[in-house]
Amino acid sequence: MAENCLFCKIAAGEIPSTQVYSDDTYYAFRDINPGAPTHVLIVPRKHIARITDADPGDAELLGGLMLIANKIAAQEHLTDFRLALNCGPHAGQSVFHIHLHLMGGRDFSWPPG
């Protein structure tokens, strides 16, 4: 757990959140400022600040993140949805603990803004 990391604290239950999924490796919760009817953030419990900090040893962890997204999409009855992962402030990353956005329940345009 990294000091002063919001998502480490949320995953540890030190800061409250609305849990959607939890296991030993991942935690998922509802975004506090949802951009869609369903907007879930999925985080590995392991602190990785940016996706570019991941190394080959994280391959299984990162693959598993996508499979958890599938599981949550099914749980939320979503067949169509968007997965997004922002890297760096210019791409919209505001919390530096990697998280996959799972958004659904409305139509999306491409490319995103």
Give me the active site residues, please.
99
CA angle 10, 75, 45 (to 5 degrees): 25
| 47 contributes a contact to Zn ion by CB under 5 A | yes
Rounded CA separation 83/70 (Å): 10
Query: At its nearest, how many Å lie between ligand 5GP and the CB of residue 47?
Result: 14
- Locate the DSSP E strands across the chain: 19-22, 26-30, 38-44, 81-84, 100-104
- 42, β-bridge pairs: 28, 100
Selected binder of ligand 5GP within 8, 11, 17, 81 (CB under 6 A): 17
| 95 contributes a contact to ligand 5GP by CB under 6 A | yes
Helical spans, DSSP H, in the chain: 6-11, 59-75
2 vs 6, beta carbon nearer ligand 5GP:
6
Q: Which residue stretch of 26-34, 43-51, 59-67, 71-79 sits at the interface with ligand 5GP (rule: CB under 6 A)?
A: 26-34
Instruction: Give residues in contact with ligand 5GP (CB under 6 A).
Output: 6, 17, 29-33, 41, 86, 92-95
